[in-house]
Amino acid sequence: MALIGPSNNEFFLCLNYLSYLFFKILGVILKFFVGIKCEVMEEEIKNPHVKIAVVIRHHFLRCHITFHLIISHHLLRELLLFRGRRLPRRRIRDSMASKMIRQHDGFDGSSPFGNPLRFIFPKGSHSTSKLISLQSSFDQTFADNLTRLKPGDTCNFPTLSWMRRAIDSLFENHKLVKNLVADLEYPSTLWDEKWIEFFLYDSVKFLDVCIALISEVSRLEQQQILLRYALQLLDFSCPASPEQLQRATGALFDWMQKLDLRSPKLKDAPVFLQSLEGTLHFPKVKNSSKGKVVMRAMYAMKIHMIFVSSVLLLILSGCSKPLVNLQIPNDLPWAKAFDELQALVKTELEKSSIVMPKELLRVDASSRHLHVSTTEVEQMAMESWGWLLFRILLVFLASLGIPFLIEHLCRRGGTKGRTKPALPPSASPFPFLCHLVQHRGSLAGVPILLRRFHSLYGPIFSLRLLPFSKPSIFISDASLAHSALVCHAEVFSDRPPPVEPARFLTARSHDISSANSGPLWLLLRRNLESEILHTSRLRLFAPARQFALRQLLDNLRGQFNGDVVAKETFNPAILSIFSSICFGQKLADTVVSEIESLQAFLLGLFTSFNVFAVFPALTKLLFHKKWKEIISARRRQMEIFLPLIRARQTRKQSISGVDYQYCYVDSLLDLRLPSEGGRGLSDDETVNLCHEFLSGAATTATAMEWTMAELVKRPGLQSNLSVEIESVVRSAGEALEEEDFLRMPYLQALIMESLRRHPPSHFVLPHSVTEDIHFKGFLIPKGAEVHFAVADVNWNEKKWEEPMEFRPERFMAEGGFDLTGNVEIKMMTFGAGIRMCPGYGLAILLLQFLVANLVRELDWKPVEEDRVDLSEKLDFTTVMKNPLRVRVLPRKQTECDNEINV
């Protein structure tokens, strides 16, 4: 399967010439090796197309591939726009050689190429019964996978679900090849390893294409769901309530945020697929019987790669240019299934002039219906002029992509003649200042003090510590938090101006958490989300998780029947995973330990009142020892991180292919800042972003300790989880992974309840408003800090029955739970809105992975019966006042002891 270039005529000219050239070369090879002479008819040489092709035979056809998807209605903006790079001019012979061969020690790189099937089906092949059985099993399974990929309902083709199923089939067949190699006990010689490396070299590149395709399909699925939801709420058949309008606003805003979150690697996919076609040809060398079976599987896998990826790229491009058939030998057992699948897909794609997933077409039809309804708005005499004007503005603003202004414009007409709103109820600063003085600047008791203020002044109040300072607004109600963070997300999206030492430690707000909402923040966040934290990318870091798990289990097994302080084992293991994702390598235990102590010191600066925030020039002199400690810690952090970054930069330039594991530092080294002249990140900024990423290990470790504390305190929960684990366990010694967690609803509910009942932080990072806003009858001035009480939202009695009880069953209701809070906020452990923590997916995955595997292998018991203290104290996170101390035993031994007692 190939993608069409600039025009059909140019493409077929090149195709004719390449076909002519191929048969000429094939004839020479057959004549030399077999003695069979293959002639090309004289009429073909007279073909005018071939004559024109001969004129340009010394230059490869310069082409470019343009990807775009345009939905015609004005409500739906352009969803996809990709432009591939132009290929350089090359001689055809050099281009084909570079695509069809890769240099290896052990064979001549300039050797000619022939029919690849000659090496897959060589003469005189001696195969054992085991090889024949494995080969037949592979062929049959491969054919079955192709058959299942055939669209069931051709009237609704293509669909996003079929696209996802096609990508899943690629992973299934990749796993099939992997299992075949394992069953063959291959490779057995150094030469066999060369063949495996030859295949894996392209497979690694192909994996990047698959990740980009998965990301794009997921993005389209999320967008069409958000648009369908918004359009359903904006249906003119019945008046919409204010709550529905708020939900529609949130859905449209989320849709806008996802428009540009496409993977940058997708633009290189067409060039790779064109080069992948050349790798169907193998160099002429001797091969073993096992190697022949493996090569046959490789050939099948690459055919599947090219076909599926090309079809998906064509669907994403939105065009219906004809597809070029992949010709395969008819004697292959899976040839019939592949030919039927290819013919069916080709027929369906060429039926329409515009190829688009059917789900998006249905959304487009709904939006057209909404547009027609707005043109007939004058005929709706039963509704008030206010509703008519509001809905017309709603459609207009949605078409401009500014849905967050809807509620503001709706309120605008009703505020005339009113007096200017006042600030929220103001609390006296004296109790707060007295607390700071009494506790020497510690913020440990501040949450309790703030809850007391909320009981006096309501769910929203203001506090001004100094007469000349901006007011701080504190919100503890879920509906108010949703209105601020989701409905008015753009206004509440900034961060307060940084002060020392935050200004020094964040490289002047060049990181995701402290940067204001703008191009820099969007670039940094998008890079982290798409390159590292995307679900498909996280699968690549499974070896790092499994390595840390093995170390953690070995550490715990060495302390059987002894007292184990849980966080002393959890913290290094989780930080090891984060550092592997960040730096792309497993760090020594001593390095991890030093990073942990530095992170703890720097993050601990934010748990006390910041004396450097007031008159920093003076306070740096008064507290010069403390300031020197901060500078010394930052310098030591640079000394540790910079060599790792430099080593990564060198490795990236010298190593590629199967030995290269992409990491967060790689994405930072590739990053350019368009708003600052296209420069790269400085060393200080790169170190700071690494520090920010590694800070996530502290909150994850805290959540891990709280979760295990609940399991130790309540053995019934641990037993329920153990039963669920045994019901999905695959094989002994193999760690549970992502696909297993999807079948473990109790584990998911347990993690969610732990995050609700014990949020690692009781407050999200402070927000700042970008302009004066009238919010729920109060005025919040521009630049005011806004704080949201996470714990108060999570423990709201209006949202949860007996919220202080630990009940995982509350999250096992059908339909799942919306953690993002786009529709309604019931818990905000990770925040909400556009400033929601981007690493929540990684945190939940690590918690599920560690909890499930630790409970599977070990039985966790308290050191003293029923003496697990769940009291809290403030560190950088809200940790256990008395760290969890446990005794661990082998799970199987415990089960045997229980049976004996019975």
Q: What share of the chain is helix, strand, coil (3-state, %, to 5)?
A: 60, 5, 35
Element (H, E) at 271: helix 269-278
SS3 at position 774: strand
Q: How far, in Å, CA of 776 to CA of 64, rounded?
A: 54
- Is 837 marked as a binding-site residue? yes
- What CA–CA distances, in Å, run from 297 to 187, 199, 277? 14, 10, 16
Q: How far, in Å, CA of 351 to CA of 835, rounded?
A: 44
Tokens of 450: 């703030």
Sign of CA dihedral 256, 488, 751, 877: positive
Q: Which residues make beta-bridge pairs with 265?
A: none
Q: Which residues make beta-bridge pairs with 474?
A: 461, 787
In the block, which residue shows the tokens 């292959």? 332
Sign of CA dihedral 831, 833, 835, 839: positive
Tokens of 650: 């060198």
> Cα–chain-centroid distance for residue 514?
21
Tell me if 698 sits within 8 A of 567, measured CB to CB: no
Asked whether the bond before 501 is cis by omega within 30 degrees of 0, the reply is: yes
Count of beta carbons in the 10 Å neighbourhood of residue 299: 21
Element (H, E) at 775: strand 773-775
Tell me if 495 sits within 8 A of 514, measured CB to CB: yes
Q: DSSP letter at 439?
A: T
Tell me if 884 sits within 8 A of 710, measured CB to CB: no
- What CA–CA distances, in Å, run from 149 to 152, 169, 173, 781? 9, 8, 12, 57
**SS3 sequence of 293-315:** HHHHHHHHHHHHHHHHHHHHHHH
Q: How far, in Å, CA of 648 to CA of 666, rounded?
A: 7
In 714-863, which ranges are continuous DSSP H helix?
715-728, 738-741, 745-757, 790-794, 840-857
**SS3 sequence of 831-879:** CCHHHCCCCHHHHHHHHHHHHHHHHHHEEEEECCCCCCCCCEEECCCEE
564-565, strands of its sheet edge to edge: 564-565, 885-890, 858-862
Q: Which residues make beta-bridge pairs with 878?
A: 874
310, exposed or middle or buried, with CB in 10 Å at 0-12, 13-18, 19+?
buried
Give the Cα-Cα-Cα angle 472, 476, 480 (nearest 5 degrees).
Answer: 90
Element (H, E) at 206: helix 190-233
Q: How far, in Å, CA of 557 to CA of 561, rounded?
A: 9
Residue 285: partners with Cβ closer than 8 Å, 6 or more residues away: 107, 111, 119
SS3 at position 901: helix
Q: Which residues make beta-bridge pairs with 82?
A: 67
785-788, strands of its sheet edge to edge: 426-427, 460-463, 472-475, 785-788, 767-768
Give the Cα-Cα-Cα angle 424, 430, 435 (nearest 5 degrees).
Answer: 115
Count of beta carbons in the 10 Å neighbourhood of residue 136: 11
Binding residues are: 837
Question: Which residues line the annotated binding site for heme?
Answer: 837
